[in-house]
Amino acid sequence: MAVRSANDIHELIERLLRQGDLRYTTGRRAIVDLLCRVGQPVSISDIESQLPSIPRSSAYRHLVDLQSVGAVRRVAANDDFARFELAEDLTEHHHHLLCTSCGDVIDVAPTPAFEKAVTTMIEQFAEREGFRPFSHSLDIVGHCRECG
């Protein structure tokens, strides 16, 4: 789910980090590179196997920092299965199917008709509360094909 080039994404993230008084270190850059390359949510174990030079604890810290400046988003069916992806501001709007059995995360791109229906429904109940909606996130929890 990337419409921007990896270079653009690096530039935007460098700016976000700088605003948060954080440097775009080699480790953080390597993780962002991986997220760009894979193009779907990755787990800490994925990062560990793809980037063996980065210790697990550092990978966690980098992800927390990247989350804190809005560059990365945590996606999870439950606490056992945390995955991380680039924030939607850097990629594009999408939804997730989350398997509670194996932790699989499937990115799904909504059709314009789907988005229109969801937005209309959200506007209806937000209006009742005097709430002004900016965006939504919709993750569907269940079992994937393999887990039945």
Q: Which is nearer to Zn ion, 25 or 119 (CB)?
A: 119
Shortest Cβ 45–Zn ion spacing (Å): 15
Q: Which is nearer to Zn ion, 64 or 147 (CB)?
A: 147
Query: What torsion, rounded to 10 degrees, do the Cα atoms 4, 61, 103, 13 define?
Result: -10
Q: Which is nearer to Zn ion, 102 or 140 (CB)?
A: 102
Structure tokens at 47: 């990062």
Shortest Cβ 74–Zn ion spacing (Å): 18
Binding site for Zn ion (CB under 5 A): 99, 101-102, 104, 110, 144, 147
User: What residues form DSSP beta bridges with 87?
Assistant: none
DSSP characters over 58-125:
HHHHHHHHHHHTTSEEEEESSTT-EEEEE-TTTS---EEEEETTT--EEEEPPPHHHHHHHHHHHHHH
Shortest Cβ 138–Zn ion spacing (Å): 6
Shortest Cβ 112–Zn ion spacing (Å): 10
Q: Which is nearer to Zn ion, 70 or 110 (CB)?
A: 110
Q: How far is CA 8 from the centre of its chain?
A: 17
Q: Within 13 Å and on the Cβ side, how many CA atoms surround 43?
A: 15
